[in-house]
Chain A
Amino acid sequence: MSDPLWPDVALHVVSGKGGTGKTTVAAAMALSLARDGRRVLLIEVEGRQGIAQLFDTPPLPYEERKVAVASGGGEVWALAIDAQEALLDYLETFYNLKRAGSALRKMGAVDFATTIAPGLRDVLLTGKAIEIVRRKSKGDARAYDAVVMDAPPTGRVAKFLNVNSEVSGLAKVGPIRNHADLVMGVIASPLTVVHLVTLLEEMPVQETIDGVAELRANDLPVGGIIVNMTRPPVLTDEQMVLALADALPGGEIEASLQACGLGGHVDAIVPALLHEAADHAHRVALERREMERIAELGLPTFTLPQLSGGVDLGGLYELAELLHEGGLG
């Protein structure tokens, strides 16, 4: 087991191309970070209720709820941040304007701020997350040992996190600017890391490489790469070379099939197995090429397997264990 890679990080942002399983990875990460009695908050910001579905709980309200107990007695809490609620929350917290909030809602101003102008929406969403990251409980301890955010996809995440540049065109001074500066002070600091989830396929890997470059260009702290849904090779390298050359020994395979009671219709089985082997070898070769491109990034890399039965609660704990062993914490 490795030492934790990010012992002092308070906010783990998880992004990835659509379909790579970033919500699943974020949840597993929360479970891993909550081991041994720690308290972790898992946040979603896209209104998808993906966390509730993963943990098999009713839809999450705009309120922190305990959703799971981690190995060793830790706790995972969850929160679905809704931009409209976050705006009203913000008005109330900073300006004591709860009633004005409902008037604004009626005027369509809340809808404006949260949907028509999602630049403000992003400041509200990240702002709420940062408020929680900074929140203290008793004494000077943080309310949560870590916060994990299931963030927007890779193509949008740098822009989402770089709230400063998002509002800079809008507000050079004033309250929005101050709020954005406060948020940025945490996001672009050693308190935060951004992890990217990928599959070993060309497009997600390319998007990951582009995403890392974009994060770095924006001075946002890049954490690790999580290679998700991998399937280990079933054949040896030598066998795969033969499979690709269509040179696997069909006669010997037929003899073995006879020996294990599958000799009934070898005429259909042998070609099918040979074709599947070639297909498999082709895919493994492709995956290895993509893995090399990931390795060139020089970032801590975690490899998670494809869960044969799909992702369920048990599967999440399995993935959390693997992340822990890889040094997540």
Chain B
Amino acid sequence: MSAHTIGRAPRLQIDTLLNDPTIHIIVCTGAGGVGKTTTAAALGLRAAELGRNVCVLTIDPAKRLAQAMGLSELDNTPRQVPGVCSPDGSGSLFAMMLDMKRTFDEVVESHADPERAEQILNNPFYQALSSSFAGTQEYMAMEKLGQLRTRAEQEGTWDLIIVDTPPSRSALDFLDAPARLGSFLDGRFIRILTAPARGAGNALGRLAAVGFGIFTNVLTKILGTQVLADLGTFVAAIDTTFGGFRERADATYALLKDPGTSFVVVAAPERDALREAAYFVERLRTDDMPLTGLVLNRMQQVDDPDLTAEQAASGAQLLHERLSAGDAGGNDALTAALLELHAQRVLMADRQMHLADRFTAAHPGVAVASVPALAGDVHDLPGLREIGDLLAGPSTD
């Protein structure tokens, strides 16, 4: 199988990235259903076999992919994948699945005394926020990434963390979630909600005097008194406990911006997936995030690109005419079918290449690695290894 060159895009040098000792975090991101988790796992395995000590953080892996990495349960702890190392015996691979609620609970438990922690954990608003609200997943993925990185630095456990991002509706959610949650929890709205709990005589008294009456009236109408009370209790507990959610969010954002972080955008050669990828590439640029390149999965392969779709189709046409004229030799029906199959594949490959070219024309300079479409899904280490080989492309030695 040949590695495609996509337009004038430079080739994304996967091994250079994985071998770079200054890179400590790789974030795989992109639309849902493009093979993001598989890409993250394949990069992790390859890096470990190149001698890195790797931890792969996945969000919601397919069952069989999780099994391939030896993950049988979602227990929020990195587990070593047995039998993975480089030829000289160095390198290791750990993998974990994110348990969003557990991660949130741990944050609470590590920042509050047991009594207060229990109060928060039992609050219905906290329970809803920590287990069912989308957006929390984005935040907790980043929180877990920060935790793993801290642990890696302190204990020297991992020198590379590869994270697969949540299947956000839009790329924005993922980058913005920490800042949004932070700004909300530090924001004016929260101050007002917690004002009754703090007593009326504080510095916010003036603001409260101006709008508080109307404001609480409105909120009571919309939310109802019970919700408002729960929310107030929750916010007060969180507020006095954490004292600076925004700081945490800012730290996470800084970690993502660090030159030791590398973003890899993953896409499939389809219009929607590439549109999402383009959007993400632009967003990363705007935020000065370190984008390393694009991985283009599932590219249709053509075995003999010299035989064009037109040639194959007209050959098949001729054979059909011969068949209906009754002067067939060889195996015309089969050969016509094979030529039609070839023509279909060439057309599909052309269409995908056209889409990819449009992407690279609009984003020149973004390095691309393409991976051919495989016949089946990947569910074991040899399969992930094969993807890793394809990602790295033919050796340049």
A contacts, CB < 8 Å to B:
17-20, 23, 46-48, 50, 53, 91, 95, 97, 100, 103-104, 107-109, 111-112, 115-119, 152-153, 155-156, 159, 165-167, 169-177, 201-204, 206, 231, 234-235, 239, 248-249, 251-262, 265, 268-269, 271-277, 279-280, 282-283, 286, 308-311
Contact = CB atoms under 8 A, between A and B. Distances in A.
A301 B48 CA distance: 44
B303 A275 contact: yes
Contacts of B268: 19
Contacts of B32: 17-19, 153
Contacts of A256: 319, 329-332, 334-336
B10 interface: no
B181 A116 contact: yes
B304 A104 contact: no
B223 A174 contact: yes
13 contacts: A46-B169, A95-B221, A117-B129, A118-B135, A165-B132, A169-B128, A174-B225, A203-B33, A255-B329, A256-B319, A260-B318, A260-B335, A272-B304
Given A19-B31, A107-B188, A248-B334, 14 more contacts: A17-B32, A19-B32, A100-B218, A104-B215, A107-B192, A153-B32, A174-B223, A176-B224, A239-B337, A259-B319, A260-B316, A273-B342, A276-B341, A308-B348
Nearest to B321: A260
A282 B377 CA distance: 12
B224 A171 contact: yes
B209 interface: no
B134 A116 contact: no
A175 B224 CA distance: 6
Nearest to A113: B222
Interface of B: 31-34, 60, 62-64, 124-125, 127-129, 132-135, 167, 169-170, 180-181, 183-184, 187-189, 192, 211, 214-215, 218-219, 221-227, 230, 268, 270-273, 275, 303-304, 306-307, 311-312, 315-316, 318-319, 322, 329-332, 334-342, 344-345, 347-348, 351, 375-377
Nearest to B60: A155
Given A176-B222, A279-B375, A112 B189 contact: yes
Contacts of B219: 109
B344 to A, nearest CB: 7
Contact of B375 (A47, A153, A257, A286): A286
B376 A202 contact: yes
Given A118-B135, A259-B322, A277 B341 contact: yes
A108 B270 CA distance: 37
Contacts of B304: 268-269, 272-273
B335 A309 contact: no
A261 B315 contact: yes
Nearest to B183: A108
Q: Which of B31, B135, B322, B338 has its CB near the most chain A CB atoms (within 10 A)?
A: B338
B341 A234 contact: yes
